[in-house]
Amino acid sequence: MPLLGDELAAFQLPAALRSVTADPGEHCLYLGSGDGRIFEVSLLRGGDAGNNGGGGGGSSRFEVLDGHSAAVTALSMTADGTQLVSGVRCTEIAAPPQVRHVPED
C-alpha cells in the first residue's frame, strides 16, 4: 500500500541512525546515531535549528550534540521540552509485571 500525504522534510545525515524522538511541539527531531552523535534537525521551513547544512536537497539544517562514546540507542524528550534524555543501551525487562484481578464480593 502506498504512503499517503505530503513530504514534510527531506534531509541526509552523515551517520546511520539508531533512535529518534521529537520535541513536544514537533518542531525538531532528535536522531541518535550509531557513532555516538545526536543530530537536532529542525522541521520548520528554512531550517531554523543549526547551521551545519544538511544536504538531501532540502533546506533542513542540523546541530550535532556530541558526548556519547557508543551508539545512541534511546532518546526521549521531557514533556516540557527542556531536557533530552539519551542512552547507549536499552535494557530488556525479563518478564512484564503480572496483573491479577481480584473479584469483588
Q: Rounded CA gap, 39 and 36, in Å? A: 10
- Amino acid at the residue 92: E
- Which DSSP state fits 90? P
pLDDT for the residue 40? 93
- Please check whether residue 43 is in contact with residue 28, taking contact to mean a CB–CB distance below 8 angstroms: yes
- Amino acid at the residue 6: D
Q: How confident is the model at residue 94 (pLDDT cuts 50, 70, 90)?
A: low
- Please check whether residue 38 is in contact with residue 72, taking contact to mean a CB–CB distance below 8 angstroms: yes
pLDDT mean across residues, the chain: 76
pLDDT digits (tens, 9 = 90+) for 13-61: 999 999 999 999 988 899 999 999 999 998 886 544 443 444 333 444 7
As given in the structure block, the three cell numbers for residue 60 are 533542513
Query: Strand, helix or coil at 64?
Result: strand
Higher pLDDT, 82 or 104: 82
Q: What is the pTM of this model?
A: 0.67
Whether 104 shows a pLDDT value over 90: the answer reads no
Higher pLDDT, 83 or 57: 83
Higher pLDDT, 48 or 65: 65
